[in-house]
A and B are shown apart, each in its own frame.
Chain A
Amino acid sequence: MVGVVLVSHSQKAAEGAAELALMMAPDAPVKAAGGLEDGSLGTSFEKISAAVEAADQGDGVALIMDMGSAVMTAEMVAESMDDRKISLLDCPFIEGAVIAALETAGGTPLSGMQEKVESGRDRKL
């Protein structure tokens, strides 16, 4: 299964999004990478790197970010791990997390993830 890493400035937001995603797909390799090491607000290169390693089962890892430094730091993690297959997805944070977890549990490969999570933009109901 494709690993899913949720990157937020807030540890609580990342963990909360992971909780919502796992409610639908309990076996999906979803990892939260929110906040700094001490739990304060921000994005941590180390936390994201560790979450990617933990989520990677060999089928690659999809990263879903909130904004700003989350996106840029995720990019730098992906560049620093060029031996792994990593994709950054552009989608709403919560909806994207839920869809990505369901899709990975359903066998969608990394290359198909962006298209699937796009639908999160108009899927409130």
Chain B
Amino acid sequence: MVAIIEEMAKKIEAEKDYLTQLDNEIGDGDHGINMARGFAAVEKKLPSLRDGDIGSLLKGVGMQLVSTVGGASGPLYGTAFMKAGMACKGLTELDGPAFVKAMEAAVDGIKMRGKATEGEKTMLDALCPALKAMQDDVAAGKSLKEALTDAAAAAEKGVEYTKTIIATKGRASYLGERSVGHQDPGATSAFYLLQVLAEMA
């Protein structure tokens, strides 16, 4: 899991400018910068989290994101990682059902923190379909790798879907109809994180 977090940090750093560009179009233009700052701080913190169980690792990642991101993605991803960490308390590896539980806790945490739901042009439009795909695959007895691959594919579709809708949550909602045609930066970063999970599983 430590290696996955490191890879997430690399991916976010690599896509920093693109995420910021997306956010420039319909937001306050800081998503890539904020996420990269947060994940760089997470990377620095990893040595002190390396020896614990997955629960404490994810909780530590979440707390670091809350403290360092500086934008809405801080409390949102921070809450997601912290809630996932609570769902993985004491575990040193994750099978399909455990992964689904962690992901459910993460998505519920984001909904709670952002008072948001699907269809509002947010990261949930990538995460909710991803969770659904993961739940279905695990229930059908597919491997974790398959489940995460399908989850990432569902998230990518979700990102495409955000181009077609009006933002009703977050900074982009101030733009109203002018937000249509642009893809949501938060959904995009959520897709990147899921893509890393699928590749590394």
Q: A and B: real partners?
A: yes
Interface secondary structure of B, over-half rule: helix
For B78, the chain A residues whose CB sits under 8 A away are 76
- Contact between chains at B170 and A73 (CB < 8 Å): no
CA distance A44 to B71 in the complex (A): 8
In the assembled complex, the CB of B185 is this many whole angstroms from the nearest CB of chain A, namely 13
Task: Kindly state whether residue A72 has any CB partner on chain B within 8 Å.
Answer: yes
Partner of A44, one of B30, B70, B73, B170: B70
For A75, the chain B residues whose CB sits under 8 A away are 75, 113
- Contact between chains at B72 and A41 (CB < 8 Å): no
Task: Kindly state whether residue B119 has any CB partner on chain A within 8 Å.
Answer: no
- Contact between chains at A73 and B30 (CB < 8 Å): no
- Contact between chains at A42 and B71 (CB < 8 Å): yes
Query: Contact residues of A with B, CB < 8 Å?
Result: 9, 36, 40-46, 67-69, 72-73, 75-76
- Of residues B30, B67, B71, which shows the largest number of chain A Cβ atoms within 10 Å of its Cβ? B71
CA distance A68 to B186 in the complex (A): 13
- A41-B28, A41-B30, A42-B30 known; A72 and B114 CB under 8 Å? yes
Closest to B27 in A: A68
In the assembled complex, the CB of A27 is this many whole angstroms from the nearest CB of chain B, namely 32
Partner of B171, one of A36, A68, A72: A68
- Contact between chains at A45 and B66 (CB < 8 Å): yes
For A72, the chain B residues whose CB sits under 8 A away are 72, 74-76, 113-114
Interchain Cβ contacts under 8 Å between A and B, 8 examples: A41-B30, A68-B171, A69-B71, A72-B74, A73-B75, A75-B75, A76-B75, A76-B78
> In the complex, which range does the number of interface residues on chain B fall in?
10 to 19
Task: Kindly state whether residue B34 has any CB partner on chain A within 8 Å.
Answer: yes
CA distance A45 to B71 in the complex (A): 10
Query: Contact residues of B with A, CB < 8 Å?
Result: 28, 30, 34, 66-67, 69-76, 78-79, 113-114, 170-171
Known: A42-B70, A73-B74, A76-B66. 13 other contacts (CB 8 A): A42-B30, A43-B71, A43-B74, A45-B66, A45-B74, A68-B170, A69-B70, A69-B71, A69-B72, A72-B74, A72-B75, A73-B66, A76-B79
CA distance A9 to B71 in the complex (A): 8
- A72-B76, A76-B79 known; A45 and B67 CB under 8 Å? yes
For A73, the chain B residues whose CB sits under 8 A away are 66, 74-75
In the assembled complex, the CB of A48 is this many whole angstroms from the nearest CB of chain B, namely 11
CA distance A69 to B69 in the complex (A): 10
For B67, the chain A residues whose CB sits under 8 A away are 45-46
- Contact between chains at B114 and A42 (CB < 8 Å): no
- Of residues A9, A41, A43, A72, which shows the largest number of chain B Cβ atoms within 10 Å of its Cβ? A72
In the assembled complex, the CB of A79 is this many whole angstroms from the nearest CB of chain B, namely 10
In the assembled complex, the CB of B75 is this many whole angstroms from the nearest CB of chain A, namely 4
For A9, the chain B residues whose CB sits under 8 A away are 28
CA distance A68 to B172 in the complex (A): 11
Closest to B75 in A: A72
